[in-house]
Structure 1
Amino acid sequence: MLDALTGFGSDPGSLRANTYIPEGFPDNGPLVVVLHGCGQSAESYNNGSGWSTLAEECGVALLFPEQRRINNLLGGFNWFEPGDSHRGLGEPLSIRQMIRQVVDDYAIDPTRVFITGLSAGGAMTSVMLATYPEVFAGGAIIGGLPYRTADTLMQAIFRMKGYGGPSDRRLGALVRGASMGAGGWPTISVWHGGRDTIIHRSNAESIIWQWQRIHKVKGPPTRVEQVDGFPRRVWCNAGKRVVIEEYIIRRMGHGTPISSRGDDGLGEEGKYMLEVGISSTRHIARFWGLTPETPRSVRRERPTVFYKSTA
């Protein structure tokens, strides 16, 4: 059960906020912000993804911003609206205010704040990472879209289907200009279904190109691995730090990849919560250093050339 967070600021985006703080949560612990997709609630996304279970295991505080139907009939975040995609405005400012309140209330380590989301929540994750990069150590975008790929509902529909969009160079410039030089760039984790018919997988490629320019890691991945039977592509910077990772889950449609069975199982199957044998929640937490566990099965392969899709 999540707890409501109130009084967190002016809330210009008119959002709800919920938290999950595990028992015995220590001072200077980490915070993960979790954004649900359309047709979901904070509770349903938490139940499906298993974030609160992992929070108990690893001592992680959770913040769940939640959309109101009065703002969006589908219950999704308004990632494409100009008033909800810029620093200091609308929904991004509301989420920033929530984060500030939770950080203060629970003595969160401000250098260990992370954000993830699915679909519209994934697209809003892109917004938050671009507009408030200094706030986040890392972000994970699941079935989402790049920052400022659309500025109207009609554009959003076309981009979701994989049509049009800013050039690769423009995508990078949009992120660079979004935070007014606030500084600091988070690491990026990208997850997408290979058979996603709601948000075309070319959007995952565009997210990679957008952040390759920010992290100065253009070109093919540094390495390719097999993790729990799925390919993981990794880009490392000049200091050999992993700054971008990507999982394309073949044969998966639109949703969050989960693995709910066995000793390491998390979450439960449901609408847009897809049982595919790999837990994005657990692997994202590992990528962020929130759990000491090593992936169960990692096989390294030779790097492959990164081609732009013509779709």
Structure 2
Amino acid sequence: MYVYVPTTLKKPAPILVAIHHCQGSATGYASETKYQPLANSKGFIIIYPNSRSSGGCFDVASTASLSHNGGGDSQTIANMVKYAIDKYGGDAEKVFVTGTSSGAMMTQVMAGAYPDVFKAASAYSGVPDGCFYVQGSTATQDPPGWSNNCANGQVTKTAQAWGDLTRSYYPGYNGTRPRILLWHGTSDSTLRYQNHPEALKQWSNVLGLTDSKNTSNTPQSGYTQTIYGSGDANTAQLVGYSAQGVGHTVPVHESLDLAFFGI
């Protein structure tokens, strides 16, 4: 991992985990995104995990990773958070996660497998949580499991079935679930757009939300905002952004992420 600790920290300091895409790296994602200048002004810690696979993808397919304390990349990342809390004075009550593509998939896995660790998540151009799961896939495969059916938007489930999948990672957990922010482009040809409504179905079920409202050209022209339940874009439990004509991937909106996280 690559950890960025600004000179001036809040005490205790919020923690943001920012997860890179395939063919990416921790330091690469640090330079591609603009979270560090915001960390300087707002005093939060950033953890950039680095994939161990040769292709730079994260394990979002194995039973180990899709289980609370089951091993795999998800537990490794959860351990990074514990490290930052102990070593740098991170705030265990203000831990957030974001990522792009493979990192967006991992973001949702973290929200599903470690709801006791993360308070909110923002995923850019991913797939539903667990959509890449392959029975028999192991955390040691390189690259980690890939599902063409899921990538092509051909995996559909009921909201209940998607929700049950996420809940299966941590049986018996009855605590608060992370708030979720999802971004996807309608012209995505790598992880097809159909994954977006499927992911919204999933998290609406996990969070117990049914009503939603759409607002066009928000937060910018061509984007449609969907808010589930009560609250606004910064306080609602689930928010989606559909980006008309945008491919893979939706540009990172760092300031909106931090507003959603309450940093």
1:266-301 deviation digits (Å, cap 9, x = unpaired) = xxxxxxxxxxxxxx11111111111xxxxxxxxxxx
Higher alpha-carbon deviation: 31-40 or 79-88: 79-88
Q: Which residue of 2 aligns with 1:284?
A: 257
Give the counterpart of 2:64 among 83, 88, 106: 83
**Would the aligned equivalents of 2:5 and 2:44 in 1 still touch at CA under 8 Å?**
yes
User: Does the 8 A contact of 2:15 with 2:95 survive in 1?
Assistant: yes
Determine the C-alpha separation between the residues in 1 that align with 2:167 and 2:219: 32
Q: Deviations over 1:135-188 (max 9, x none)?
A: 111001111111222323776221011112443321011112222233210100
SS in 2 for 1:257: coil
Amino acid at match of 1:63: I
From 223, 228, 247, the counterpart of 1:235: 228
Equivalent-residue separation in structure 1 for 2:199 and 2:190 (angstroms): 16
Whether the 8 Å CA contact 1:223–1:235 is kept in 2: the answer is no
Task: After TM superposition, give the deviation of residue 131 of structure 1 in Å.
Answer: 0.6
SS at match of 1:111: strand
TM-score (ref. length: structure 2): 0.88
**CA RMSD, 1 decimal:** 2.1
Q: Which residue of 1 aligns with 2:111?
A: 129
Q: Count residues with an aligned counterpart.
A: 249
Contact 2:181–2:238 at 8 Å: present in 1 too?
yes
| Partner AA of 1:252 in structure 2 | V
What is the DSSP-based 3-state SS (H/G/I as helix, E as strand, rest coil) of the residue aligned with 2:251? strand
In structure 1, the residue corresponding to 2:36 is in which secondary structure? helix
Residue 178 of structure 1 aligns to a residue whose secondary structure is: coil
Which residue matches 1:64?
A: 48
SS of residue paired to 1:82: coil
- Give identity over the alignment, percent: 24
CA displacement, residues 188-215 of structure 1 (integer Å, 9 cap, x when unaligned): 0001111110001111111111110122
SS in 1 for 2:93: coil
Partner of 1:198: 190
Q: Are the equivalent residues in 2 in contact too, given 1:49–1:256 (CA < 8 A)?
A: no
SS of 1:24 mapped into structure 2: coil
The structural deviation recorded for 1:134 is 1.2
Partner SS, residue 26 of structure 1: coil
Counterparts in 2 of 1:207-226, with a 5 A limit?
Answer: 207-219=199-211, 221-224=212-215, 226=218
Partners of 2:203 and 2:12 in 1: CA distance: 28
Whole-Å separation in 2 of the counterparts to 1:141 and 1:247: 10
Distance 1:154 1:85, change over 3 A: closer
TM superposition shift of 1:247: 1.0
Show structure 1 runs of 5+ residues with no match.
1-16, 259-279, 291-311
Does structure 1 residue 107 correspond to structure 2 residue 81?
no
Distance 1:173 1:27 in 2: 37
Structure 2: unaligned runs, 5 residues or longer: 135-143
- In the aligned structure 1, how far is the partner of 2:67 from the partner of 2:58? 13
Report if the CA contact (8 A) 2:102-2:126 is conserved. Answer: yes
Instruction: Work out whether residues 27 and 106 of structure 1, in 8 Å CA contact, stay in contact via their aligned partners in 2.
Output: no
Structure 1 residues 203 and 63: alpha-carbon distance in aligned structure 2, compared to 1, 3 A threshold = same
